[in-house]
Amino acid sequence: MMRLTWESGRRKGGCVPNVTKSSRTLYSLILLGCILLFITNFAFVDAQARYPGTISVLKTAYEDETRAFYTYMAYAQKANSENYPNIANLFVALATSERIHARNFRTLLVELGEEVRETQIPQIKVSSTKRNLKKATKVELSEIDTKHPQFIHEIESEHYEAATRNITYAWLSEKQHRDLIEKIQSGTGMLFGLLAKKIEDSPSQYFVCQNCGSTLTEFPQEACPIYKGSVSSYKKLATSY
């Protein structure tokens, strides 16, 4: 309840209320809050009007990367069940990278005033590890050659730099993913068993940048090759699934 002090005086009415200093501070804070709320809402509306194409692309990219995360984790579980722990580790590394991309896209959408609901876990069709590797290779190549270049083309006219930058990060990371699974692509035929044995006999370690999703088998010495920042952002994944 507002505190009032009363003073007798010659003013008409005999007594007049004086608002205390704490009350004036409260009024000021409330007013400031209202102004900030108005400015924030105006900024969101303005952003949605200025970047409709960018928002649409980011929503699609967020859903795609989230689905990729769950897909690779399902593939990892299957590989582990088939006694291919090192291939499972590869899939976990790819999944980790995809989740970072999804997180970045979600952050941008929130900054643009979009309400982003949690994506439900999709139904994933899981086959043998051999088939899963073939499908993963096909998907990565599609994203490298078609999807991400198209995303960048669609949003370039709106000049939202953060979106272009993060989609580019994802694109470059997908190229790394391709390189990691490309050596398996030629072995998904008759020689898959021999290749898988070779992979299992030579365990790989994976390092994933928590900023851009860069995925490497060796810790970078100077800077992240994708976002060019400190290597302290890299996290080494566990060597067993």
pLDDT digits (tens, 9 = 90+) for 89-104: 999 999 999 999 999 9
Give pLDDT tens digits for 63-121: 999 999 999 999 999 999 999 898 899 999 999 999 999 999 999 999 999 988 877 77
In a domain, 139, yes or no: yes
The model's confidence at residue 134, banded by pLDDT at 50, 70 and 90, is confident
Query: Is there a single domain that holds both residue 104 and residue 183?
Result: yes
- Give residue 151's pLDDT: 95
Whether residues 124 and 180 fall in one domain: yes
pLDDT at 136: 86
Where residue 186 falls among pLDDT bands split at 50, 70, 90? low
- Total tally of structural domains belonging to the chain: 2
Give residue 187's pLDDT band: very low, low, confident or very high (50, 70, 90). low
Question: Is residue 9, in this structure, part of any structural domain at all?
Answer: no
Mean pLDDT estimate for the chain: 82
Q: Are residues 117 and 186 in the same domain?
A: yes
pLDDT at 1: 45
Q: Which of 233, 187, 184, 185 is nearest to 208 (CA)?
A: 233
pLDDT category at 188 given cuts 50, 70, 90 is: low
Cβ atoms of 162 and 108 within 8 Å: the answer is yes
pLDDT band of residue 185 (cuts 50, 70, 90) is: low
Q: Are 150 and 164 found together in one domain?
A: yes
φ, ψ for residue 172 (rounded to 5)? Answer: -65, -35
- The answer to whether residues 53 and 150 touch, using CB atoms and an 8 Å cutoff, is no
Note whether 74 and 44 are same-domain residues.
no
- Which domain does 165 fall in, by range? 53-215+229-236
- Here the CATH number for the domain that contains residue 144 is 1.20.1260.10
Residue 241 lies in a domain: no
Looking at residue 240, its pLDDT comes to 57
The answer to whether residues 34 and 88 belong to one domain is no
Do both 161 and 63 map to the same domain? yes
Query: pTM, whole model, 2 decimals?
Result: 0.77
- The tens digit of pLDDT for each residue in 13-68 reads 555 455 566 666 766 667 655 555 544 444 455 777 899 999 999 999 999 999 99
